[in-house]
Structure 1
Amino acid sequence: MKVMTVFGTRPEAIKMAPLVKKLNETEGIESVLCVTAQHREMLDQVLELFQLTPDYDLNIMKQNQTISQITSNVLVGLEEVLKKEKPDVVLVHGDTTTTFAAALASFYQQIKVGHVEAGLRTYDKYSPYPEEMNRVLTGHIADFHFSPTEKNRMNLLKEGVIDDNIYITGNTVIDALFQVVDKPYEFEDETLKKIDFESKRVITVTCHRRENLGENMEHIFGAIRKIAEEFQDVEIVYPMHMNPKVRETANKILNNMERVHLIDPLQYQPFENLMAKSYFIITDSGGIQEEAPSLGKPVLVVRKETERPEAVEAGTVKLAGVEMETIYNLSKELLTNQEAYNAMAHAVNPYGDGHACERIVDILKKKL
């Protein structure tokens, strides 16, 4: 059986790396890895960490590339690879433009598609954009739907997906997390080296989504500024996204503040260990909503909605929205109310136990 895995961005690579490693070590499976390099530098960092060497590298990244350019370049680039390799199944992940284009390219070659992290929905096609439509369209192409949770399965059933083609596996991001977090971890970043994680309460921040650019981001950073000014024992670490618009807003509101550290993006392993040492997380990222609860860290999601309602229902995540006062008040509650903090920190992560990759490989062996 030949299984081709295709991904192109850092988040995909993180979540697919443990699956590729599992495929590589499984007898009876010929594993082929193709990367599109939709994100070049950040992708390479993950490949190096997990010691993966692609069989094919489409290397499509260009400065200021549009979504249409990414889609067309992946479609054209993958066509020859698929014709040459003729895999039994192509595995894609989540909701990136690489994901959708790779699924479409496979369909054009009449090759089965396995969708890892299937069934996430906000039911707003412009939020997140373009991810919501990427995952919906991929779901309509896929033959195997590897869903992290029961709620994801129900979303797919509502869209007419056959139940026999849906498999609840947990999320592969937990598999990856458990491979890289070390309690005695030493940071290389000079700023992080100087932070006293034992006596300070560290809040890790990530904020980068397109729909938060502009006024929403100003509200988010305004709340973070208020927290830093009010709580002297709090240190805030924000590994800033490379997007110039994000950096401009962050520097305007948070630069030169005492105990607020605006640093360059971290590679995957140091970032996961930063989360592990943090008190809680403020984020608009999807993956962090899945990862942080496994580390016992409360998460405030600075978005209007989330495609991960299981975390909200489980109590590991709170939807803070994008209004400054709401974000500030929820943060203040975690800093002043130990009972509220413990309720979130000790809730059970609904996204799995670190064995999702094993389940996916077993399903492929039985079904192909």
Structure 2
Amino acid sequence: MNPHVMVVFGTRPEAIKVAPVVRRLRADHSIDTTVVDTGQHAGLLEPVYATFGFDPDERLDVAVPGQDLTALATRTMTAVGGVIARRRPDLVLVHGDTSAAAVTALAAHYAHVEVAHLEAGLRSADLWSPWPEEANRRVIGQLASVHFAPTQRAADRLLAEGADAAAVHVTGNTVIDALLHTLDAAPPALPAPVQAALDAGRRLVLVTGHRRESWETGLADTAAGIADTVRDRDDVFVWAPLHPNPIVRAAIEPAFAGLDHVLVDAPLDYPTFCRAMQAAHCIVTDSGGVQEEAPTLGTPVLVTRDTTERPEALEAGASRLIGTDRAVVRAELAALLDDDDRYRAMGRAVNPYGDGRAAERVHEVVRAVLGDRAA
């Protein structure tokens, strides 16, 4: 009987980042691999599966409109716990910092199944920012027996917290694997309004935002700062593909109302988003993944958060942490548009998140771990 690894995820970013690992594991016929989609982002993951050429073995149904985090976590833990009991894996692999990852790790622990953590060791040092992700990461870090750290800094944090050095592996970030795979597959054309703006010589500012800690005022203030910057400029086009959450859209859309050089859009599939990052002059975002992806493309990033668990990009000069204050957002975006020296310096920064071979390294460790367990 082959050793058995179960990969569990619930959101689109998780699915994108685990996809290169799933492809590697499924190609290894000495390992049985079960892929579980919790259904948290129901309807958003089918394009991811098409892009990376795999489907989940289990599709759960934890998404209920309007449920709070406690309800989501409870439903997820119960559903995933049932799959673990039925499938009986030797190792459960989770990614990152979502509530799905945290409660899956706990369900595996309760079932006496070991946990491996992709993108381990990230810390903001602020339990409330990002919320609840920072707490989720710390919980998983305590439960995991295998840690895949994307950088040496992340590995050092785990060691400082008492992780066994033999269990910590520096792999790079799998999102770079995903990005390069997607760009190699001939990304799609940009939407007509965006392409027309680029053809007219306008610089593209790509905007995303969704963090829970910014729902009250941060998203609205960020959007207002961007609108202030570009309102009277004819050399810029803003593209804002927004998260489908109505709270997010209601916070951001009013600031852009009436601006004809702003396109507020639905969420993009991953290939189109990769193409957008590649075409952008700069990106204004609170996304963790974008902070990792954009340096590979030489696209500067303004991070609209007060803290980040990805300081490597800041130290490399690829991104700037600017918060969500309206005046600061306005000033920082204007500087990036008008200061050529600043822009060139950020665009030349070296990507600190790996070489696109992270999934290969993860696969090698998983094989070794499962081989040791079977011995």
TM-score, normalised via structure 1 length = 0.96
Shift of 1:243: 2.0
Question: 2:324 aligns to what SS in structure 1?
Answer: coil
Contact kept in structure 2, 1:181 and 1:276, CA below 8 Å: no
Question: 1:196 aligns to what SS in structure 2?
Answer: helix
Question: 1:126 aligns to what SS in structure 2?
Answer: coil
Shift of 1:208: 1.2
Of 278, 281, 305, which residue of structure 2 is paired with 1:279?
281
TM-score, normalised via structure 2 length = 0.94
CA distance in 1, matches of 2:83, 2:265: 39
Shift of 1:246: 2.1
User: 1:255-270 maps to which residues of 2 (within 5 A)?
Assistant: 255-270=257-272
Contact kept in structure 2, 1:197 and 1:277, CA below 8 Å: no
Aligned to 1:215: 217
Deviation larger for 151-160 or 189-198: 189-198
Gaps of 5+ in 1: none
CA distance in 2, matches of 1:97, 1:186: 32
Aligned to 1:17: 19
CA distance in 2, matches of 1:261, 1:182: 27
Question: 1:40 aligns to what SS in structure 2?
Answer: coil
Shift of 1:211: 1.1
Question: 1:127 aligns to what SS in structure 2?
Answer: coil
Aligned length: 368
Letter in 1 for 2:212: R
Shift of 1:251: 2.4
User: 1:84-233 maps to which residues of 2 (within 5 A)?
Assistant: 84-181=86-183, 185-187=187-189, 189-196=191-198, 199-233=201-235
Contact kept in structure 1, 2:130 and 2:307, CA below 8 Å: no
CA distance in 1, matches of 2:333, 2:18: 32
Shift of 1:124: 1.4
CA distance in 1, matches of 2:55, 2:186: 29
CA distance in 2, matches of 1:123, 1:276: 31
Aligned to 2:237: 235
Shift of 1:3: 1.2
Question: 1:353 aligns to what SS in structure 2?
Answer: coil
Shift of 1:60: 1.3
CA distance in 2, matches of 1:184, 1:361: 26
Gaps of 5+ in 2: 371-375
CA distance in 1, matches of 2:46, 2:188: 22
Q: In the alignment, does 2:84 pair up with 1:82?
A: yes
Deviation larger for 225-234 or 284-293: 225-234
Aligned to 1:303: 305
| Cα displacement string for residues 11-64 of structure 1 (whole angstroms, at most 9, x for unaligned residues) | 100000111001011241111111101111112331232222111111211111
Contact kept in structure 2, 1:240 and 1:263, CA below 8 Å: yes
Deviation larger for 294-303 or 207-216: 207-216
CA distance in 2, matches of 1:260, 1:74: 38
Shift of 1:189: 3.8
* RMSD after superposition: 1.6
CA distance in 1, matches of 2:187, 2:48: 18
